[in-house]
Chain A
Amino acid sequence: MADAGLGAALTRLRDAVTATRYPLALPGSGAAASLAKATAGQLDDYLIPRLARLDAPLLAVAGGSTGAGKSTLVNSIVRAPVSVAGARRPTTRAPVLVCHPADAAWFSEANLLPRLGRAGSAEAGGVGLLVLPVAVLTQGVALLDSPDIDSVEEDNRALAEQLLAAADLWLFVTTAVRYADAVPWELLHAARDRGTAVAIILNRVPPGAEAEVAPHLTEMLEEHGLGGVPLFVLDEQRLDQHGLLSEQAVAPLRDWLDSLARSAAARAAVVRQTVDGAVAALVPSTSRLAEEADAQSTAVVALAGSVDSAYRESELSVDHGVRDGTLFRGEVLARWQELVGTGEFMRNLQARVGRLRDRIVGAFTGKPKQADEVIVALESHLVTFVHGAAADAAENAAAAWRAHPAGGDLLAAHPTLSRVSPDLDARADRMVRDWQRGVLELVRDESAGRLFAAKFSAYAVNALGLCLMVVVFAATAFIPTGAEIAVGAGATVAAQKVLEAIFGDDAVRRLAGQARQDFLTRVHELLKEEAARFHTVLEGTGVEDGGGDRLRAAAAAVDAARRADPISGPDGAAA
């Protein structure tokens, strides 16, 4: 019997299915999105309401290809032109449900197919389900004429699939021309996998062809795992003046439906078979969805990882540039030399630090403009350097995304990602200035209380700060080559010696290490902000981590509830 456990589990599964998104353009994401939509639709339209009332009237949906004669068949069974039929394809657009007047209330109340509106009358038109009470039908079975599954009207197919998913029984209408078409067989496979109760109506069989076509169709049904399905064959015939098939042609089908309607047991068996099959089929289809959800989160992780590794690589190259001393070249070096004197003079400095210190400090106090020039040159050097690192990282990250099936689409939607953010230069500039200020702060703290600082005031702090910056970029693993011995090493050694004379070796090493670390941390922060642009895009897709596990857990709960309380009890083993 319908049990609260299974119903609740199905509701939770529906919530899990609707909550999971497949936004990344992976090979299976389109199929997964439509499967998710169909699954959620079936749960809402059919399984949840049906499970609440297993004894409600049986709904038989006539589905099939365009031109197969579904409407004519429904009209002929109720002996009245309730659904529009004709040569123009596709004909049926708004679905019509015919039932015994006593059953009309159940279908009109929108228990089944709640998302589909109810059309008040035939004239209301539009979408929505038209419920027509017809006295000729036996109470207990309703017939629904569904749109075609394969015409040019895409909406028809979606509606047809929705209606078929809500059917207790499929009346699958095909013709002698159609029965080997690929599209209907796809749906029959779905019905087979879901365990839906199916009856096949082979319509429009040319006179004399039945002997060949019917056995072939039976053979095909067996081949496709649908052996034993009831098969009704109707000859191609002239319609009467109302556009109906003759009464004796549809008699076998009518009788079969009547017998179903009269026997509550047989009806219940059909309903239970379909509901149980549909619930059972939820497990494999949900696991397919879960796999796809996993693929989505794996792709997000992979895309994020490629961004992180691109930026980490750039950070490493900054680290190298800072440590190998090559940053202190070109214009900065030239200006530094201009400030402290020529290369030759620097060669014999070791012994004359005291004089040199005075000279440098003097140079600063006397030439603040030149000192500023060194600072400005260093600043623009560093900004360009950091910009280059960020640009390389953005380009490499974008290239990695482009090579990824889902990344390419994301990149096309956000083309600016492959370049640095427009305000990067301004931010890098601010970053470098902040760092320089930090270096001056370091020097100020270190020299607080020392006689030297008091003696030389603010200029000295500037001078020593600049010396420290030079030491940070030049004196660590400086490997002089060629002329650099003369011009580079001498100059930077000068800076180091000055600092050592004032603060002592250990303090200089510590200060330089601190300043370098501070710089690298700031670069790290800046690059992290740059990388965050990629991460924001990824977050914007709405792929959640663990969506697959949530689906699997919900499906497992449904499966457990189904096993604990089988729907197809001992009284309803098969249709």
Chain B
Amino acid sequence: MSAPTVVERMAALERFTAATARRLPGSDLAPATSLIGRAGERLALSQLHTVVALAGATGTGKSSIFNALAGVTLSQTGVRRPTTGEAHACVWGADHAEPLLDWLGVTRRHFRDGGEPDLSGLVLLDLPDFDSVQVAHRAEADRLLSVVDLIVWVLHPQKYADRVQHADYLTRFHRHRDITVVALNAVDLLSAADAEECVSDLHRLLAADGLGDLAVLPTSTVGPPGLDPLVKAIRQAVFARQAAVRRLEADLADVTAALAPTVAPAPPKAALDADATRTLTGALAGAAGVPVVTAAVEKAYVHRARKATGWPLLRWIRRTRADPLERLHLGDHRATVPAATSLSPAGPAAQAGVAKALREAADRAGAALPAPWQDAMLAAVRAHRDDLPDALDRAVASTDLGVARKRWWWRVVGLLQWLFTAVALVGLLWLGVRLAMEALALPPLRTPKVDGWLPMPTALLAGGLLAGLLLAILVRPVVRIAAGARRRRAAKRLRDSIAGVVKDLVETPATAVLTDYATARTALRDAGAPLPSR
């Protein structure tokens, strides 16, 4: 496997910004988006050219070096400070350099034909200073420093330890070591021993800036050692044609290092663990009126069972009462558009319970994530807060509560009740007939006797009535037990329905945040951030 190219890494960074656009504050992502734009522009422009900037404080001799390399006096030099206010460019090998210079925004251009052939492809910029009283110079220098391919820091023996040079610039560009050249100019002012001490001290300061072991090139425009070491370094960079890519890689390292803390911890496996889901489901069940519904289920079962199995002569009393479930407009779970139930809307306490459960779920889900993601998690978990009441109502309405159909044993008991009633009726009729015949003074019918003493019609009447009453009494506890079982089953089904709502309206958005997080993390690692893989 070869190392990923800068283009691949930029694409990874773009994936990162896409995944985090809705989750992280825009100010965090601004450097990344601007780098992506800049990289696209720079790579589309001439890669045969290497843009080298001479940067430094005022009076360090940037312009003198520039003029010496260009071979003509292009940039104003002098003892008046500050001198250069606008960047100058000198191009070796003019082909196709114009769009690049336009992009750099440098208007003062000089084209050198011929000259040293091995500097062909060099675009040398003389930058304004960054430490003078002219604030505009610093702004222009900063603008160009963010786009050039190679930076030559021109230091001066008087100024090499300035705070502005180290704290504001060298430290900021410490990841750009590959495209950084440090030149200590005007060494002709120092004795050999002083120059040596100066260079070693500069090494110490560079190490503190994060640029340890970087070579310091002593230069002078008026005496030995001349500019040869610097020209050699520039020539190498121009010849390799890699500086533009190295620059972008260093920028990538900067940007990814700054972003790494936003995705540092490994992503958790699931957004909501079983415990959080259970708590949330419980709170939502309370808000959805599940206890009311399950109680109604139990009562409805008793009501319907009694209606079907009660003593036929008294069943009409049942009929006059309303069915507890129908009163809540519950029962027909198969309707394609579930009707709104008549459950009262969740009270403030239930709503507070839901809000609390949502907040706790979000806190738990985001506990392992960096701060901006915790906010994103809370927002995601609450995203459907306003849809929840309706969704819960629908979930309750469309749940099969298991009391719609009549039980088979209700029919058996009902049939038996009718049978007993019929027996009693037969006995009654028989007795009636006997009474009528007696009244009409007809000869009495022969009446069979049970066990030789109880007349049959009396036995039928009393037996039928007694058996019906007994059956009704016997069935009662069975109905109670069955109703309890129905209630528990309905409660379980309702919980399952509500768990489905939790999954759709809470867990899915929360998981989407985690997915974005994992995507962003992988993308940033692909872009070069030093993150552990898991």
Interface residues of chain A, those whose CB is within 8 Å of chain B, are 65-68, 86-90, 150-152, 154, 157, 175-183, 185, 204-206, 209, 212-213, 216, 220, 236, 317, 321, 326-331, 334, 344, 381-382, 384-385, 387-389, 391-392, 395, 419, 481-484, 486-488
Contacts and interface: CB of A to CB of B under 8 A. Distances in A.
Contacts of A326: 345, 347-348
B49 to A, nearest CB: 32
Given A150-B162, A177-B60, A381 B81 contact: no
A384 to B, nearest CB: 5
A470 to B, nearest CB: 14
Contacts of A236: 189
B163 A152 contact: yes
A177 B161 CA distance: 14
B167 interface: yes
Nearest to B194: A87
B291 A330 contact: yes
Contacts of B59: 176-178, 180
A185 B160 contact: no
B470 interface: no
Nearest to B354: A388
A89 B291 contact: no
Contacts of B198: 87-89
B57 interface: yes
Interface string B17-56: 0000000000000000000000000000000000000000
A330 B355 contact: no
B483 to A, nearest CB: 15
B79 A209 contact: yes
Contacts of B289: 330
Given A183-B131, A388-B352, A388-B356, A483 B327 contact: yes
B205 interface: yes
Contacts of B327: 483, 486
Given A180-B58, A329-B344, A329-B347, A151 B163 contact: yes
Interface string B320-354: 01100001100000000000001011111111110
Question: Quick one: which of A177, A236, A334, A482 has the most chain B CB within 10 A?
Answer: A177
A392 to B, nearest CB: 7
Given A67-B157, A483-B328, A387 B79 contact: no
B295 interface: yes
Nearest to A154: B163
B246 interface: no
Nearest to A321: B348
B79 A175 contact: no
Nearest to B347: A329
Nearest to B287: A330
Which 5 residue pairs are nearest across A and B when measured between Cβ atoms? A388-B352, A180-B81, A89-B161, A67-B158, A177-B59
Nearest to B190: A87
Contacts of B363: 419
B464 to A, nearest CB: 33
A68 B292 CA distance: 87
Contact of B79 (A176, A328, A381, A486): A176
Nearest to B350: A330
Nearest to B378: A395
A330 B349 contact: yes
B199 to A, nearest CB: 10
B160 A381 contact: no
Interface of B: 57-60, 78-82, 131-135, 156-164, 166-167, 189-190, 194-195, 197-198, 201, 205, 208, 286-287, 289, 291-292, 295, 321-322, 327-328, 342, 344-353, 355-356, 359, 363
Contacts of A381: 347, 349
Contacts of B166: 152
Nearest to A382: B349
Contacts of B295: 334
Nearest to B200: A88
A182 B344 contact: no
14 contacts: A89-B158, A89-B161, A176-B79, A177-B58, A177-B158, A180-B81, A212-B79, A317-B348, A328-B347, A330-B291, A330-B350, A381-B347, A381-B349, A419-B359
Contacts of A176: 59, 79, 81
B352 A389 contact: yes
A334 B349 contact: no
Nearest to B352: A388
B80 A88 contact: no
Nearest to A317: B348
Contact of B292 (A65, A157, A334, A382): A334
A206 B189 CA distance: 10
A482 B344 contact: yes
Contacts of A185: 133
A87 B157 contact: yes
Nearest to B167: A152
A326 B287 CA distance: 13
A198 to B, nearest CB: 17
Contacts of B57: 181
A483 B363 CA distance: 37
B184 to A, nearest CB: 11
B65 to A, nearest CB: 15
A152 B162 contact: yes
Contacts of A152: 161-163, 166-167, 205, 208
Nearest to B166: A152
Contacts of A331: 286, 291-292
A385 B60 contact: no
Given A328-B347, A387-B356, A183 B164 contact: yes
A330 B345 CA distance: 9
Nearest to B191: A87
B353 to A, nearest CB: 5
B344 A213 contact: no
B358 to A, nearest CB: 10
A68 B356 CA distance: 66
Contact of B160 (A68, A89, A157, A321): A89
Contact of A330 (B80, B194, B292, B328): B292
A388 B189 CA distance: 75
Contacts of A334: 291-292, 295
Nearest to B78: A212
A220 B321 CA distance: 103
Nearest to A182: B133
Contacts of B353: 384, 388
Contacts of B348: 317, 321, 326-327, 385, 388
A326 B346 CA distance: 8
Contact of A204 (B131, B132, B158, B160): B158
Given A209-B79, A330-B287, 19 more contacts: A66-B161, A67-B158, A67-B159, A87-B157, A151-B162, A152-B163, A177-B58, A178-B158, A182-B133, A182-B135, A182-B164, A183-B163, A344-B321, A381-B347, A384-B349, A384-B350, A387-B356, A388-B355, A392-B355
A322 to B, nearest CB: 9
Interface centre among A150, A236, A419 (most CB of B within 10 A): A150
